[in-house]
Structure 1
Amino acid sequence: MHKVLKTIPKGNRTQVFVDNSSFLLYKGEMRKYHIEPDMELEDETYREILEVLYKRAKERALYLLDDSYKTEKQIRDKLKGGCYPESIINNVIIYLTEYGLVDDLRYAKLYIEYKSSSKSKKQIVQDLYVKGIQKKIIDEAFEKSEYSDEKSLNKIVEKRISRYNLNDPKDVQKLYRYLVAKGYSYSDVRKTIEKYSDESYYD
Structure 2
Amino acid sequence: MGKITKLEEGKRNKNRVNVYIDNNFSFAMDLELIYKMGLKVNSEINEDEIREIAEKEGFSKCKESAIRAIERSYKTEKELRNKLHEKEFSDEQIDYAIDFLIKYNFLDDVKYARMYVKDKLFNQGKNKIRFSLERKGISRDIIEDIFQEFDNGEELERGLYLCEKKYNLLKKRETDKYKLKDKLFRYLVGRGYDFSTSKEIINKILNDNEY
Q: Is the pair's TM-score, using the shorter chain for normalization, greater than 0.5? A: yes
Query: Which residue pairs with 2:201 in the alignment?
Result: 192
1:55 aligns with 2:63: no
CA–CA distance in 2 between the matches of 1:83 and 1:167? Answer: 58
- Say which is worse superposed, 60-69 or 75-84, in terms of deviation: 60-69
CA–CA distance in 2 between the matches of 1:84 and 1:185? Answer: 41
1:93 aligns with 2:98: yes
1:161 aligns with 2:164: no
Q: CA RMSD in A?
A: 2.6
- Larger-gyration structure (1/2): 2
TM-score between both structures, scaled by the size of structure 2 = 0.68
Query: Which residue pairs with 1:71 in the alignment?
Result: 76
CA–CA distance in 2 between the matches of 1:199 and 1:136? Answer: 36
Answer yes or no: is the 8 Å Cα contact 1:96–1:102 preserved in 2.
yes
1:180 aligns with 2:189: yes
- The answer for unaligned runs of 5 or more in structure 1 is 1-30, 34-41
Q: How far does residue 52 in structure 1 lie from its aligned partner after superposition? A: 1.0
How many residue pairs match? The answer is 166
**Does the C-alpha gap of structure 1 residues 55 and 147 become closer, same or farther in structure 2, counting only changes over 3 Å?**
farther
**Does the C-alpha gap of structure 1 residues 46 and 152 become closer, same or farther in structure 2, counting only changes over 3 Å?**
farther
Give CA-to-partner distance per residue, 1:7-65, whole Å, 9 cap, x none: xxxxxxxxxxxxxxxxxxxxxxxx837xxxxxxxx653332112111221122111111
CA–CA distance in 1 between the matches of 2:75 and 2:55? Answer: 24
What is the identity percentage for the equivalent residue pairs of Structure 1 and Structure 2? 30
Q: How far does residue 167 in structure 1 lie from its aligned partner after superposition? A: 5.0
- Say which is worse superposed, 185-194 or 102-111, in terms of deviation: 185-194
- The answer for unaligned runs of 5 or more in structure 2 is 1-24, 28-46
TM-score between both structures, scaled by the size of structure 1 = 0.71
